[in-house]
Structure 1
Amino acid sequence: MTKSIPEATMLLPSECAFTLDASKPVLTHARSMFAEAALVPHSHPRGQLLWAVEGVLRVTSAQAVWVVPSTHSVWIPGGVSHQVSCETAATTCNLFIDPSYPVRKHEQQGAMLSMSPLMREIVLRLTQEPQLMDQQSTQRLGLVAIDELEHLQAFEVRLPSGNDPRLVKLISYMVQHPNQAPSLVTLANQVGASVRTIERLFKAETGMTFRQWRSRFRLMNSLELLSKGESSTAVAHSLGYKSVSSFVKVFRQEFGRTPQSFINKR
């Protein structure tokens, strides 16, 4: 019998994500997520800016997988199905934007964004101090948030996802258990497919081999360690690189700058 993959405890999305009201351009919701928690896969009519003040989020849609440290956020357009999970505890702040206010129309599948200092303060004020603001003040600041959202720089770091249920299940498991490294044989058995089938699905639906996909996913997870202040040397060793220079080279190729530059830019 095929062993099923254990599921993380599932949480429900905020109800305000489904509220349509042009007089309230931005609705907010803050949430504390415990370790290994995940939201049920879902979509909603409002666009969502998702940011973790603390912790690292892993966001999976039908098109991509993002690993998102607190230095960045994710823009999820309305109607895009997605799932959010975290390995360790995280505190999230969410802005839900009414569809009557088009935002980042050129990114129909979502994007990972660098958080500007201004956007950080706006999001914190809207989500953590709502009792200090009246409706008009909230509306005005929400409109400023919409304007600033248009100017956040996209960070082109994502992994392609897939549509086949077996591949979706396998990738979901890897995303929710980033520190585990089961063999492809083990993963294939868990989703009820042969190794050859999984290898074919990865190549056909992601354009990458399983080894390439997992290597890039591990590299994306290095952002979490760097965000916590760990050195390039420590991160390189934790990821299994033979030398720091090889890690720095691959990091630069993937993210466009060195790990030290990434740390300093925070």
Structure 2
Amino acid sequence: MTALASDLVVRSLAVTFRSGTTIAEHRHRWGQLVVVARGAMRVTAVSQVWITPPTRALWLPAGVPHRLCAVGAEVALRTLYLAEPLSQALPAQPSVREVSPLLRELVLHILSLGMLVGSQPAQARLAQVLVDLVAQAGAVDLQLPMPADPRARALADRLLAQPGERVALAALADNVGASLRTLQRAFARETGLPIEAWRSKASLLHAAALLAEGASVTEAAGDAGWQSLAGFGAAFRQVFGMTPGRYRARRDQA
């Protein structure tokens, strides 16, 4: 029996992208849970940039404009779309969430079904369990706030595009037509981070994406511009709560 469109409460989609694939800004009428099965994904939405690696998921509420970029040789996404009122029971702002083994298996099960229909009691219960697991999943600090000032935004875009570049900030400031002091004030005011801390976190998020792709710790640190492995390891652990080696190993659990 074919389900009526109005009876659907969860839809699913599995898709694979090549590295560098971008999807222009768009929005969905349904809430979106994007689980990264392989590779990593960079998402820009609501003046924030998120890096979502394997074993994590990005929650995007309905109606939020966003654009995507695939990071990794091959990026596999497992996406669930949640209708109202399911999506309204989840956070009103985008966030990266932990993916527990139970949540991962439930997502895969829903993908095998293709959809969940609210009029079928068993599927309605699965939908509610899904909402409960996402709501209970811990949020992970894998985002960078983006400055609104045009010159500061130009610098932020440069640092994101070339996270391993070690050009002095003063020289980069000249390139965007502002003094370093002006940019420091803009970053502190609009992102809540000193510009040096913002740059460091951008490089660590880039390194995390490389580790998720399978790069070695040495390769990831070097590509992200870190000259000291010890310094890289300490900074990485402070942001992600684990060593780069352990973070890399988690990709095999996806």
Pairwise TM-score range, normalised by the shorter structure = 0.7 to 0.9
Shift of 1:174: 5.1
Number of residue pairs aligned between Structure 1 and Structure 2? 239
Quote the Cα distance in structure 2 between the aligned partners of 1:167 and 1:27: 39
Q: What residue number does 2:178 align with?
A: 195
| AA in 2 matched with 1:124 | L
The answer to whether the aligner puts 1:62 opposite 2:46 as a matched pair is yes
| AA in 1 matched with 2:78 | C
Alignment CA distance shift 1:244-1:86 (3 Å) = same
Q: What CA RMSD, in Å, does the superposition of the two structures yield over aligned residues?
A: 3.2
- Which one of the candidate residues 102, 123, 132 is aligned to 1:147? 132
Q: Are the counterparts in 2 of residues 49 and 75 from structure 1 also a CA contact under 8 Å?
A: yes
Quote the Cα distance in structure 1 between the aligned partners of 2:164 and 2:227: 20
Q: What residue number does 1:115 align with?
A: 99
SS across alignment from 2:64: coil
Quote the Cα distance in structure 1 between the aligned partners of 2:214 and 2:22: 26
SS across alignment from 2:139: coil
| AA in 1 matched with 2:237 | R
Q: Are the counterparts in 1 of residues 48 and 145 from structure 2 also a CA contact under 8 Å?
A: yes
| AA in 1 matched with 2:210 | L
Q: Are the counterparts in 1 of residues 45 and 67 from structure 2 also a CA contact under 8 Å?
A: yes
The answer to whether the aligner puts 1:257 opposite 2:246 as a matched pair is no
Q: What residue number does 2:32 align with?
A: 48
**1:97-129 superposed Cα distances (whole Å, 9 cap, x missing partner):** 113125564x432211111112212222323x3
Map 1:160-175; keep pairs closer than 5 Å. Answer: 160-164=145-149, 167-168=152-153, 171=156, 175=160
**Greater strand share, structure number:** 2
- Which one of the candidate residues 55, 65, 77 is aligned to 1:71? 55
Quote the Cα distance in structure 2 between the aligned partners of 1:57 and 1:264: 18
TM-score (norm 2): 0.76
Shift of 1:152: 1.4
The answer to whether the aligner puts 1:34 opposite 2:18 as a matched pair is yes
Unmatched 5+ stretches in structure 2: none
Unmatched 5+ stretches in structure 1: 1-19
**Identical aligned residues as a percent:** 29
SS across alignment from 1:51: strand
Quote the Cα distance in structure 2 between the aligned partners of 1:259 and 1:66: 18
SS across alignment from 1:25: strand
Quote the Cα distance in structure 2 between the aligned partners of 1:109 and 1:168: 22
Shift of 1:63: 3.6
Greater mean alpha carbon deviation, residues 198-207 or residues 35-44: 198-207
